[in-house]
Amino acid sequence: MALDYKHLLQTLLKRYGGAEPEALKDVLCPALIPIHTLDKQIIKLPKQSHYRASFTILITDTNRQLMQLGRTGKFVPKEYVDGGVWREIAKGRVIALDFEKRLASGEVYIGGNKAALEQALAQLSTGDYLEIDQYGASAKVLSGLVEYYLSRMVSGQGYRVRRMPEDVARHVGAYYYYDYEFEKTGVVKKVEVKSLWGTNTKYARLIHSKTDGYPTSSCRFDTQDIFAVSLFLRTGNIGDFAFARSVPEDVRSYGLPRAAAYPDHVNQNPPCTLGDGTWFPSIDDVWNLP
């Protein structure tokens, strides 16, 4: 049956008090600003291990409200803007503004060493765009979509899925330190959904808020049974995931490294590579691992 897009849009707008379609687009979709000039010469900031190149973008009436010192965004390829797959090439930060000349200057940077930045710059050109999340919503929307597709995927593989509440009143019960319970053939396992590290997508970002029982921002091993990491920042596909068992690598060969100063916690930025013996493409691959 064909999807009724008009009804879908009306449903979305009704929920938000009759907001206009243009408003919904601007909140959900980051602004795309073309690179004006690009200087690929790499410099190292004094007294820091931070390497950067330089870029400029033109200040227009449309993007002027976004032009503030410290504004960050992601460089995405022209091919994506023309209809291809989303992909982050590097990050950009505005560090100087000249409103008289209508010019914003910034730094191109990426997590990792100088070689990582060189690789990114080899893929970046003046035909590409700086993507800026205007209202801070796209990251939350992406997180929600990731969980939606994970739920749909594992439900289709025969698992019962229970989404844990974001918070729990004290008189109701204890706080859940994981996102899901998956159940199959009477076995229930706790699943924590995470992302790749946006600064360097070769690594997962296994972090948690510092609360009771969390002296560090690294996840505890015993909080969840399985990590499900979205690979969207690497592949541009909302349905791509990597799965790992939440056990230390010195206990199981397929385990994850411990945090150096907190042995009960996982290293918060472990390498995440499918097929390396730790990360697997399907929940079925890790479900029965002890």
Residue 286's identity, in one-letter code, is: V
Rounded Cα–Cα distance for residues 57 and 76 (Å): 14
Fold classification of 138-287 is Trna Endonuclease; Chain: A, domain 1 (3.40.1350)
Rounded Cα–Cα distance for residues 285 and 262 (Å): 28
Which residues of the chain are in CATH 2.40.30 domains? 28-132
- Please state whether the predicted TM-score (pTM) of the whole model is above 0.85: yes
pLDDT tens-digit map of 136-175: 998 899 999 999 999 999 999 999 999 988 776 677 767 7
28-132 to CATH, choices 1.10.3470, 2.40.50, 2.40.30, 3.40.50: 2.40.30
Could you read off the pLDDT tens digit of each residue along the chain, which spans 290 residues? 678 889 988 888 888 888 898 998 999 999 999 999 999 999 987 766 689 999 999 999 999 999 999 999 999 999 999 999 999 999 999 999 999 999 999 999 987 688 989 999 999 999 999 999 999 998 899 999 999 999 999 999 999 999 988 776 677 767 778 999 999 999 999 999 999 998 788 999 999 877 766 788 899 999 999 999 999 999 999 999 999 999 999 999 999 999 999 999 999 999 999 999 999 999 999 999 99
pLDDT tens-digit map of 215-255: 888 999 999 999 999 999 999 999 999 999 999 999 999 99
Which residues of the chain are in CATH 3.40.1350 domains? 138-287
User: What's the order of all strands across the beta sheet hosting 90-98?
Assistant: 31-34, 129-132, 72-76, 90-98, 103-109, 51-58, 37-44
10 Å CB burial of residue 279 (0-12, 13-18, 19+) is: buried
Rounded Cα–Cα distance for residues 124 and 108 (Å): 10
For strands 226-230 and 241-245, give the pairing. antiparallel
Q: Which residues contact 85 (CB under 8 A, 6 or more apart)?
A: 79, 235, 236, 237
